[in-house]
């Protein structure tokens, strides 16, 4: 959502996550949903967490926000150092719920995937925004409602003075998502977590919402952790990408590096599923055949993600990988750093990364 650029590695990150692991209790025992996840997010930059459903993206964000349901018996380990507005650094994973409530909606905010299930159906959208600013900014009722109207104007909702008194069901899906962004931005957070905010919207509204988030980021300087399964979306709006598979990060890179030279077989598989990449590949094959006629085929990744109750030995992607060898089943590969002199770091979790490139 900003222009793709590198940042010196020694620059202080807004969010520094180290070895984040999250497990849940089930009738069949504890399952490890996220394991050893580490990444950095710089001020004013956008990092996209990308992967299939069930790869651990949303669990990662909920762990950082402290929003797991109490009934899930979540166990969260690791560190998540977050720099506040005043320059102090806190470990989000060590804060109690009272301290987290003081940060949520204020220093850090989240835009959820489905606004209709996130907004309160019995309160007007203005009342919901006003509630947040009254809690965190100490405004009275009239000032809070005026601030809510200004926030609706900020996210380009027409007739904001009228819409502020309407209920969520009176708005379209795109309008409700704008309200969610207004609610998240109401207290000027320095970190915004967007959990698939455009999945349920048509492509035109998707583009409008993403452009809106990009504009707000440029105006406020906030950092964005963007969660999606769509590599095509992040290509234009993110600065860096972290690819997740089976609860682990398998590759991190700048957007340009990842699209130009994906190192992990899973990343190559995800890119192969994109129509634009498939068209380019088919045309290259057609040119090699000398007939010039492309065959329109998308590449599917064979198999499916293994059950977290019975993970495979070694590399989690090995059962679906065309480059699998005996060493892949021996042990989980480390996340190797290819460069450490700039952000985003270039990392890959594959013993055959060089061959894949």
Q: Given this model, what pLDDT does residue 202 score?
A: 83
Does 39 fall in a domain? no
pLDDT for the residue 62: 95
The whole-angstrom separation of Cα 90 and Cα 73 is 24
**Has residue 345 been placed in a domain?**
yes
Query: Does residue 243 lie in a domain region?
Result: no
Give the Cβ contact number of residue 295 at 10 Å: 11
Low-confidence residues in the chain, pLDDT < 70: 1-10, 276-298, 354, 356-357
109 token code pair: 């905010």
Q: Is the residue at 300 inside a domain?
A: yes
256 part of a folded domain: no
pTM to 2 decimal places: 0.89
Alpha-carbon distance of 303 to 316, in angstroms, equals: 12
CA terminus-to-terminus distance, the chain = 27
318 in a domain, yes or no? yes
User: Quick one: pLDDT at residue 2?
Assistant: 53
- Give me the chain's average pLDDT, please: 88
Contact 36, 248 (CB under 8 A): yes
Q: Is residue 271 part of a domain?
A: yes
In a domain, residue 36? The reply is no
Where in the sequence is the domain holding 271, given as residue range(s)?
A: 262-356
Residue 11, pLDDT score:
73
Domain count, the chain: 1
pLDDT of residue 284: 57
């Amino acid at each position: 959502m900003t222009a793709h650029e590198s940042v010196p590695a020694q620059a202080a990150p807004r969010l520094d996550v180290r070895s984040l692991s999250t497990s849940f209790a089930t009738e069949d025992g504890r399952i490890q949903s996220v394991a050893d996840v580490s990444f950095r997010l710089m001020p004013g930059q956008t990092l996209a967490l990308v992967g299939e459903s069930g790869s651990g993206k949303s669990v990662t964000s909920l762990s950082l926000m402290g929003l797991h349901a109490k009934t899930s018996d979540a166990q969260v380990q690791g560190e998540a150092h977050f720099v506040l507005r005043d320059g102090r650094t806190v470990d989000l994973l060590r804060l109690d719920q009272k301290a987290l409530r003081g940060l949520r909606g204020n220093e850090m905010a989240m835009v959820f995937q489905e606004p209709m299930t996130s907004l309160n159906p019995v309160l007007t959208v203005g009342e919901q925004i006003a509630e947040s600013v009254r809690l965190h900014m100490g405004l009275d009722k009239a000032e809070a409602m005026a601030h809510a109207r200004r926030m609706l104007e900020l996210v380009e909702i027409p007739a904001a003075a009228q819409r502020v008194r309407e209920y969520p069901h009176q708005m379209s899906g795109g309008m409700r998502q704008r309200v969610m962004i207004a609610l998240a931005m109401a207290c000027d957070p320095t970190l915004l977590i967007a959990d698939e905010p455009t999945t349920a919207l048509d492509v035109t509204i998707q583009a409008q919402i993403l452009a809106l988030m990009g504009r707000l980021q440029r105006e406020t300087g906030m950092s964005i952790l963007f969660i999606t399964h769509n590599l095509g979306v992040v290509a234009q709006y993110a600065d860096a990408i972290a690819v997740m598979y089976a609860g682990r990060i398998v590759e991190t890179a700048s957007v340009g590096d990842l699209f130009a030279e994906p190192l992990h077989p899973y990343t190559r598989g995800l890119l192969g599923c994109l129509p634009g990449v498939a068209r380019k590949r088919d045309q290259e094959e057609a040119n090699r055949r000398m007939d010039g006629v492309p065959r329109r085929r998308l590449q599917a990744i064979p198999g499916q993600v293994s059950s977290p109750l019975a993970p495979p030995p070694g590399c989690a992607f090995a059962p679906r990988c065309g480059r699998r060898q005996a060493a892949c089943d021996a042990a989980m590969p480390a996340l190797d750093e290819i460069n450490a002199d700039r952000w985003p770091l270039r990392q890959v979790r594959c013993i055959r990364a060089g061959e894949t490139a």
